[in-house]
């Protein structure tokens, strides 16, 4: 039996605040219990499970974050988990003008188990179709192609993804691994891993496949590649905030749901 309570405790202890090197132009600023992630694309708020204030004091804390990013002319998102405290925080964010996005499922998997699952009847990484190549990349040109791919998949402008990836590689290439599946010079699927030093965790991000290639094993192939990479780097746990499309795949690949997360966004 998997001890999901222990996985949740590890997540709360290690994955709440942003560790490690940051891309150029990004800073971390403290405001009481919070960390403001300030950067060129969008501001982000990260917090412990319990921010430690309620009522009017909580309203003031929220207003300060909104005011800080309003003065920058920048949008900001505040990430909450379903078990966060105080329980009034979501309502107070909405009252302050933050708009909730759809929830994601937070899943954790053991890197060695996910990587080893590749050998079990093709559960994780079936052979990719003929003509498809999976490779690790880091050059600026390909990272800009990844941003174009993400824009194609999600139907909105995601050019900032290239700047984020390029900045992360420049800040510390040991803390990010980026993979693509491509055929005939077309990127079909992309995904990357962010390594969190001093923790057990690797965050898996960006897993996206163009619509006409879904259901052909590309997402799982890049999942297996990242799991093997995590093992090689000496990390134990894989973390994903999964969409409704990805969550069932991840469960079949050995991941365990521990909570849900939701972003609340404010735009000036």
* Beta strands, E only, 16-103: 27-31, 34-38, 43-46, 76-81, 99-100
pLDDT at 122 over 70: no
Higher pLDDT, 154 or 24: 154
Q: Using one digit for the tens of pLDDT, what is the confidence trace for 236-249?
A: 999 999 999 899 99
Q: How far apart are CA 206 and CA 232, in angstroms?
A: 20
CATH number for the region 106-260 comes to 3.40.630.30
Residue-range domain boundaries for the chain: 4-103, 106-260
Long-range contacts of 60-68 (CB under 8 A, 24+ apart): 61/31, 61/32, 61/34, 62/92, 62/93, 62/96, 62/98, 63/96, 64/31, 65/31, 65/34, 65/36, 66/96, 66/97, 66/98, 66/266, 68/31, 68/36, 68/43
Average pLDDT on 120-127 reads 51
Q: For residues 210-229, give the mean pLDDT.
A: 94
pLDDT above 60: residue 126: no
Q: What is the pLDDT of residue 124?
A: 45
Residue 125 has pLDDT above 80, yes or no: no
Indicate the DSSP class of residue 149.
H
With CA atoms as reference, report the closest residue to 204 among 196, 213, 212, 214: 196
β strands within the chain, DSSP E:
27-31, 34-38, 43-46, 76-81, 99-100, 104-110, 133-137, 176-183, 186-195, 201-209, 237-242, 256-266
Q: What is the mean pLDDT of residues 94-106?
A: 97
- 4-51 tens-digit pLDDT: 999 999 999 999 987 666 777 888 999 999 999 998 789 999 999 999
Averaged pLDDT for residues 81-107: 97
Query: Per-residue pLDDT for 119 more than 50?
Result: no
Residue whose tokens read 């094993």:
217
Percent of the chain at pLDDT > 90 equals 85
128, HSE (Cβ side, Cα atoms, 13 Å): 21
Return the pLDDT at 117: 74
Q: 167, 176 in Cβ contact below 8 A? A: no
């Amino acid at each position: 039996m998997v001890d999901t309570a222990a996985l949740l405790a590890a997540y709360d202890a290690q994955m709440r605040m942003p560790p490690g090197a940051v891309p150029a132009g990004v800073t971390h600023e403290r405001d009481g219990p919070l960390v403001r992630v300030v950067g060129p694309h969008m501001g982000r708020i990260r917090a412990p499970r319990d921010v430690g204030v309620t009522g009017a004091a909580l309203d003031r804390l929220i207003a300060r974050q909104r005011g800080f990013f309003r003065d920058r002319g920048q949008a900001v998102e505040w990430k909450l988990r379903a078990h966060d405290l105080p329980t009034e925080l979501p309502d107070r964010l909405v009252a302050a003008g933050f708009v909730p996005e759809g929830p994601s499922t937070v899943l954790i998997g053991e890197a060695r188990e996910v990587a080893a699952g590749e050998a079990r009847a093709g559960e994780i990484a079936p052979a990719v179709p003929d003509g498809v190549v999976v490779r690790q990349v880091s050059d600026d040109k390909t990272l800009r192609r990844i941003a174009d791919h993400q824009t194609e998949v999600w139907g909105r402008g995601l050019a900032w993804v290239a700047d984020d990836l390029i900045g992360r590689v420049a800040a510390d290439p040991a803390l990010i691994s980026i993979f693509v599946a491509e055929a005939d010079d077309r990127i079909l699927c992309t995904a990357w891993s962010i390594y969190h030093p001093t923790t057990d965790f690797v965050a898996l991000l960006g897993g996206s496949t163009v619509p006409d290639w879904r259901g052909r094993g590309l997402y799982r192939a890049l999942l297996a590649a990242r799991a093997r990479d995590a093992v090689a780097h000496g990390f134990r746990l894989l973390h994903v905030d999964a969409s409704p499309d990805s969550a069932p795949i991840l469960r079949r690949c050995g991941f365990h749901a521990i909570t849900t997360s939701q972003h609340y966004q404010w735009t000036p």
